[in-house]
Structure 1
Amino acid sequence: MFLESALVTYYEEIRAALRDLLGRHETVDSGEFTPGVELPELTAAMREYLSVSGVTHAQMGHYRGKSLSLLDLTGNPATLTTKTFASLIIVARAVRYIQDTGERVTIVTPSSANKATAMRDAVLRAVTSGLVTAEQLNVVVVVPEGSVAKLRSSELFTDPRLRDRNPIAVYRGEQPGTVKTIARGLVDNDRELMETERKTHLWYTLQLENYLAADVVRALAEAEHFPAAPDRPRLHAHAVSSAYGLLGHAYGRSILPESDRARTLPSRYFLVQHLGAPDMVLSLYNDGTVDEAHRPAYVLRPEDGLYAQEENPRFPAVTFDPYETLDPTFYTRNPPTSARMNEIIHTQGGGGIVVSLAECLQRYGQVRSLLSEAGVRLPANPTALREWSLTMAVVGVLNAIDRGLVDEDDIVVHGSGSYAVGDFDGLTVRDLHTVADAEALRHVVLDATVL
């Protein structure tokens, strides 16, 4: 199944979801700017703007009697991640506000890199599609230094005026999640300053509902094109930091017509994380707590230099480092979404697992072969991979099957991101703005919003 432009196909459903999810919030004056919940009319320019939101479902084959398939959400060549979907809808709301009022909007986004890339691409598409001008809409992103290798060049960087208007700030401290504190502080402290001196509204978009509304397309496309068998439970597996995508799928299921929901069993969800940020899996199996004491104890094996453990099958059997960062995409600790995801999994079914780089390398050839059946190419050399999300998800599923942690025979892996060296032109820290706190970011934003 290939759906060429899911956001166009389900545009009215997304509109309704935005009104349902955010309508009540928009009527409360919190003092914080939001552009409202409405989207632009679906003109030819809007269709072009949304045209990169393709969705593909394809079979990967079987493993130990389990049917594996891929829901590929990485079709936008400018991002190669699922962050395209939410970013296009977020920016579309800003476009509608600008079209209605003539006022300027500056989006401020902390990110581990992929959301930053997708938001920048969405802003660029809005400008090049003629929906708004570069003076009316811009985006400022803040990323941790460890994610710089994931950033990519585009016209927002190669065009001098667009580069000035849309800066990338880099935080070089030890805690990657501090980028959220910096961006939040900038918006809280300087919103009025930017409105009065720069005549632009600061919009901090890191709100769950902004993502749920776009991710309903996963459930809508599934119900229409590849529904589960009526008597066969389906497991949805996803490499997650905060599980926004799975929560979006669950919400999308809830808004299906009752007749469609009744035809299949409730969806089950499977979380895949890494050792650097395993908090959702820890929370799931420890009554909502993420105490480090719940991690298994690893012992160094002198014979091969690997750390090993056998006490907890939901954690890697071997790893190069018990606290390794397999991929900086997944940097969120103790996400507020854990409680909601725990409730869904405990009620409907599913589970979670943590994987290591050593395990991903052990199974890399097998994963590469499975994904090739679904039309996804991984580089022959795993050191060329720059986004491990999809590989992590497949390895997590295979490990869980081997360890008897999965009962379901129908497993859909959500392909949320995969790219390698050669898929994009990169940037370096020297190309970007270094910030240590919200005050430093304020100067970056002031420069970017000069009238």
Structure 2
Amino acid sequence: MTPTLSASAQTSTTTVLKNALTHYDAELRQALTALEHDRSDGPDGAPMFSPAFRLPDPGPALERFFAVSDIGVTDLPAYRGHRLRLLDLMRNPATRTTKTLASLVIVARAVRHITETGERVLIVTPSSANKATALRDAVHRAVDCGLVTADQLHIASVVPAQSTAKLWTSPLSEDPALRVRNPLVVHACEEPAAVKELATAFAVTHADRLWKQYGTRVWYTLGLDNYRAADVLRAFAERDLLPTGDDGSRSRTHVHSVSSAFGLLGHELGHRRVTAGGSSLPQSRYFLVQHLGTPDMVLSLRHGTHDRTNLPAYRFDTAAGLYRQEEDPHFPATTFDPEEQLDPTFYTRRPVTSARMDPLIAAHGGGGVVVSLHECLSRYAEARALLAAAGLALPADPRRLREWSLVMAVTGTLNAADRGLLPDSDDLLIHGSGSYGDQDYRPVPEAHRRTAADATELAGHIEDAVRATAAR
């Protein structure tokens, strides 16, 4: 299947597939049906509520809801003999992140459950920032498009204090009534990943009680399949926008800034579905880009363990004012600080998904590289010029950049090419998963956020939200 004229638009070297979730409706529903037969328990193995992997029936309201799911592909200037292209998954102006695609599917599944059963659903998600922003946007879109009411579907998000500057304001935080129903809760913690433990503790302890007491289903959404369900579209778009043979390549290297690599595992599922259906795609090779704060997946690839003692030893160069290492080219050659946190969005330590990604890369090729803030800044003007070909305008001043995912991916690609770390394939597809500056959004004001030190305090905020909807 190729995109019809009504489904895509061609401008210069960029091809945009409009409303991909609607365009691939039939294939998406088939993929969801397959995932329905591969369910797992909730956090800590506890059986938890999760809606069926089914979407609402097609119609104008659902099409409007999915309207921000465009996907673009752009040719970028070649580098060291490698053909570079960008898979733009950030085309929703209300989020500028690929989390939009998964969030729309997650919320659509909740809508289907609500309309079939009449039950209220509360989504609970821990997030470093982007998942919360995208899910909150999708919840508001569902209400705004008339798929559900604000009392039928709402969301509670738990984010680390380090990420508050990245939280986008929206009607869910600006409207007082919606703010109560959709609490945005900040948790002060040394390790940002502690928000997952907090949200898990809440869900395991309180979800059943809130259902029995208020008739509201609590859905803890931080599961791999909830995201793979939408990320299969990456492979569908690749099949249609980058068909096999357009450059003679038999393999394609997919470069992605990752925390847990949910997006690439979703692409791998989509790739299997495409090829099983009789279509042809180049063999996928996955190349992971991480930063020094959370280099765990690259460590696992290199050493078979997440143990940070395997990081190369850095020495301080007093003349340059930088830390340096020459031991391993898969890690930054220079950094301001070996313990730096380049972007709090990438906060996952010891991801369980390494057990899935490592064998894929071992079997088919690929690799990984870790970048530093110094390296990203050193190549920032180069990345900015490169991405201008895709119509992506990075702020001239890198201090105004708030989401570094795309710049990390480009920097990692260029560094890896310089160091001979990329596979032999000359076809590189950079997955654009997030990029925005302070000019693209307004942060959620402190007065519109709640705080929670533990699961009991979090439960109090969420119970306020549930009580507000149940009372109507």
TM-score bracket relative to the smaller structure: over 0.9
Distance 1:353 1:298, change over 3 A: same
1:80 deviates by: 0.3
Correspondence for 2:308: 292
User: In the alignment, is the contact (CA less than 8 A) between 1:242 and 1:338 conserved in 2?
Assistant: yes
- 424-433 or 99-108, larger mean C-alpha shift: 424-433
Residue from 217, 228, 245 that aligns with 1:201: 217
CA contact (8 A) 2:260 2:297 kept: yes
Matching residue's letter, 1:440: E
CA contact (8 A) 1:22 1:209 kept: no
Amino acid at match of 1:269: Y
1:243-282 equivalent positions in 2, closer than 5 A: 243-258=261-276, 260-261=278-279, 263-282=280-299
Aligned match of 2:9: none
1:266–1:232: structure 2 CA closer, same or farther, 3 Å change rule?
closer
The one of 361, 375, 380 aligned to 2:377: 361
**Alpha-carbon separation, structure 1, partners of 2:281 and 2:66:** 30
Is the contact between residue 113 and residue 147 of structure 1 (CA under 8 Å) also seen in structure 2?
Answer: yes
Distance 2:309 2:28 in 1: 42
1:426 and 2:443 aligned? yes
Shift of residue 264 of structure 1?
A: 3.9
Cα distance change, pair 221–260 in 1 and its aligned pair in 2 (3 A): farther
Residue equivalent to 2:388:
372
After superposing the two structures, state which structure 1 stretch, 315-324 or 193-202, moved more.
Answer: 193-202
Q: State whether structure 2 residue 356 is matched by structure 1 residue 340.
A: yes
Deviations 1:313-359 (A, max 9, x none): 00000001101110001000010100110111110110000000000
Per-residue CA distance 1:56-80 (angstroms, 9 max, x = gap): 0001111111111100000001100
Q: 1:445 aligns with which of 447, 450, 462?
A: 462
Match of 1:91 in 2: 107
The letter for the 1-side match of 2:300 is S
- Which deviations, in whole Å up to 9, do the C-alpha atoms of 1:295-317 show, x marking residues without a partner? 00000111122110000100000
Tell whether the 8 Å contact from 1:103 to 1:136 is kept in structure 2 after alignment.
yes
2:334 aligned partner, one-letter code: V
CA distance in 2, matches of 1:365, 1:216: 33
Partner of 1:416: 433
1:16 CA drift (Å): 1.4
Q: Of residues 23, 37, 58 in structure 1, which corresponds to 2:74?
A: 58
Distance 1:436 1:240 in 2: 28
The answer as to whether partners of 2:244 and 2:250 remain within 8 angstroms in 1 is yes
Unaligned runs of 5+ in 2: 1-14
Write the distance in 1 (CA, Å) between the matches of 2:65 and 2:341. Answer: 35
Q: Does the 8 A contact of 2:296 with 2:308 survive in 1?
A: no
Secondary structure of the structure 2 residue equivalent to 1:256: helix
**In the alignment, does 2:243 pair up with 1:227?**
yes
Q: CA RMSD in A?
A: 1.5
1:224 & 1:265 partners in 2: Cα distance?
Answer: 12
- Other-structure match for 1:238: 256
Task: Letter of the 2:22 partner, please give it.
Answer: V
The residue type paired with residue 341 of structure 1 is M
The answer to whether the Cα contact below 8 Å between 1:236 and 1:267 also exists between their aligned partners in 2 is yes
Determine if contact 1:319/1:357 at 8 Å carries over to the other structure. Answer: yes
Instruction: Give me the TM-score of the superposition, normalised by structure 1.
Output: 0.97
SS at match of 1:17: helix
- The 2-side partners of 1:422 and 1:82 are apart by 19
Deviation larger for 422-431 or 439-448: 422-431
Residue 329 of structure 2 is aligned with which of 294, 300, 313?
A: 313
Q: Compute the displacement of 1:94 (Å).
A: 0.5
2:187/2:452 contact within 8 Å kept = yes
How far is 1:34 from its partner?
A: 1.2
Cα contact 2:41–2:47 (8 A) shared by 1: no
Which AA in structure 1 matches 2:443? G
User: Residues of 2 paired with 1:293 and 1:422: CA distance?
Assistant: 39
Give the Cα–Cα distance (whole angstroms) in 2 for the partners of residues 346 and 204 of structure 1. Answer: 32
Amino acid at match of 1:292: R
- Paired residue type of 1:51: A
Does the 8 A contact of 1:149 with 1:428 survive in 2? no
Does structure 2 retain, via aligned residues, the 8 Å contact 1:142–1:170? yes
Runs of 5+ consecutive residues of structure 1 not aligned to the other structure: none
Q: Retained in 1: the 8 A contact 2:165–2:443?
A: yes
Q: Distance in 2 between matches of 1:368 and 1:237?
A: 17
Q: Secondary structure at the residue paired with 1:20?
A: helix
Specify which of 380, 397, 410 is matched with residue 381 of structure 1: 397
Contact 2:254 2:431 in 1 (8 A): yes
Report what 2:153 is aligned to.
137
Partners in 2 of 1:375 and 1:304 — Cα distance?
Answer: 35
Is the contact made by 2:71 and 2:88 (CA closer than 8 Å) also made in structure 1? Answer: yes
Structure 2 residue 36 is the aligned partner of structure 1 residue 22: yes
Residue correspondences, number: 449
* Residue 108 (1) aligns with residue 124 (2): yes
CA contact (8 A) 1:316 1:356 kept: yes
Equivalent residues of 1:223, 1:260 under 8 A apart: no
Of residues 8, 29, 39, the one that matches 2:55 is 39
Equivalent residue letter for 1:411: L
Per the alignment, do residues 358 and 190 of structure 1 end up closer, same or farther by CA in structure 2, a change over 3 Å counting? Answer: same
Partners of 2:364 and 2:438 in 1: CA distance: 39
Q: Cα offset for 1:437?
A: 1.2
Residue equivalent to 2:144? 128
Q: Which moved more, 1:315-324 or 1:220-229?
A: 220-229
Which whole-Å CA distance do the structure 1 matches of 2:136 and 2:123 have between them? 10
CA distance in 2, matches of 1:231, 1:113: 37
